[in-house]
Structure 1
Amino acid sequence: MLTPVTTWYLEMLSPEWLRPTLSSRADLVVMQAEVPSPEFSRFLYTAVGGDWYWLQRLSWSYEQWLRYLDRPQVQTWVAYVSGTPAGYVELEAQPDENVEIAYFGLLGQFMGQGLGGHLLTVGTQQAWNMGAKRVWVHTCSLDGPYALKNYQSRGFKLYDQQVHSEELPEQPPGPWG
């Protein structure tokens, strides 16, 4: 099915732009997944992105995942609620001293609880800690309904918008696809 998709590109040019929001939940912790684990990263990718047409990495082999993850430029930060993975943010440092928020999101059962703002705050702080001169992200009309608002609420500013068409399956693959 040919679907029109709007992509928004956002950036933060200074750590002072960050408008943090942090949860006071005692059962919430965000920590870095320091050991490259293709199985865990693929789980996060499908569990978070399965409902939003995240398709690009579904065909990756174990070796492709490992090659991507086992680089110092990539960091994965995971939010846990009572020990259960609730979402993640994947950061990738680029040669031009930019850090991209490559992937970000929550598992469905954890949406609507204020966790997204907290996780994005921590992820953005970590991007600045990686030596970024600029932190950027893109989101699109296929992503969660609050994604764009969350980025803008944290202080990211829109710098480009593009519309294109994508050939998509009738339904997103879901986390089990």
Structure 2
Amino acid sequence: MTETIAVTTWHLEQNAAADVVPVAAPDGLDLRVVRAELIGPEFARFLYTAVGGPWTWTDRLPWTYAQWQDWLAKEGLETWVAWVSGTPAGYVQLEPHRDGEVEIAYFGLLPHFIGKGLGGHLLAYGLQRAWDLPDRHPALPPTRKVTVHTCSLDGPAALRTYQSRGLRIARTETSHQPATPPPGPWPGA
């Protein structure tokens, strides 16, 4: 019999740009947040595995190169990358939906940068970009809501970070999943 664990998932939302709670970038870091306008499957998969490996992000590990290409070609999908002294430190990926909802599809930091005050700043920046996404993609409807979900497998500060940037819990659910160890940033890590 496969061992299972209870996983709580929180679905959060924000209903107005004015609800974003900004936070200053940490002092003393050469930090830039840049939109990856020419992102390819290699870099997208790198970010996904490097950030999500410690937190059991596994849904996209089996994706083919073509599946990554299709995902990245979605109208309005944006990936914003935090760079510290020329090194990728984390990212926030925005996925617009045709009804005016923009989902924070992925957000997080590489392990080396956790605890340095970058997460709140990057998330607030990403939220602001979600609200002004139609300015960069005129074919999209105006943003009416920004959503994200996090679960009890994510980093211990994830839920608190989302709430401190102005997102509110819309619903909570609990499911049982097979107990699997986090994959790490690369196979066998």
Task: Say whether the fold is shared (TM-score over 0.5).
Answer: yes
Equivalent residue, structure 2, for 1:133: 144
- The whole-number CA distance in structure 2 between the counterparts of 1:164 and 1:18 is 30
Using the TM superposition, give the Cα deviation of residue 106 of structure 1 relative to its aligned residue in structure 2, in angstroms: 0.2
- Gap runs ≥5 in structure 1: none
**SS of structure 2 residue aligned to 1:142:** coil
- The whole-number CA distance in structure 1 between the counterparts of 2:149 and 2:53 is 18
- The whole-number CA distance in structure 2 between the counterparts of 1:155 and 1:138 is 14
Equivalent residue, structure 1, for 2:49: 46
Structure-1-length-normalised TM-score:
0.97
Match of 1:89 among 88, 92, 103: 92
- The whole-number CA distance in structure 1 between the counterparts of 2:47 and 2:24 is 22
- The whole-number CA distance in structure 1 between the counterparts of 2:143 and 2:155 is 26
The amino acid that maps onto 1:27 is: D
Work out the percentage of aligned pairs sharing the same amino acid. 53
Cα deviation digits, residues 122-141 of structure 1 (max 9, x gap): 10000001131100100000
Cα deviation digits, residues 8-50 of structure 1 (max 9, x gap): 0110000111110021445000000001310000000000000
Equivalent residue, structure 1, for 2:117: 114
Equivalent residue, structure 1, for 2:157: 146
- Gap runs ≥5 in structure 2: 134-141
Match of 2:173 among 142, 150, 162: 162
- The whole-number CA distance in structure 1 between the counterparts of 2:43 and 2:172 is 32
Q: Does 1:62 align with 2:65?
A: yes
**SS of structure 2 residue aligned to 1:121:** helix
The amino acid that maps onto 1:112 is: G
- The whole-number CA distance in structure 2 between the counterparts of 1:10 and 1:152 is 8
Is the contact between residue 78 and residue 87 of structure 1 (CA under 8 Å) also seen in structure 2? Answer: yes
Q: Does 1:8 align with 2:6?
A: no
Is the contact between residue 36 and residue 70 of structure 1 (CA under 8 Å) also seen in structure 2? Answer: no
Task: Classify 1:11/1:25 alpha carbon distance in 2 versus 1 (closer, same or farther; 3 Å).
Answer: farther
RMSD (Å) for aligned C-alpha atoms: 1.0
The amino acid that maps onto 1:176 is: W
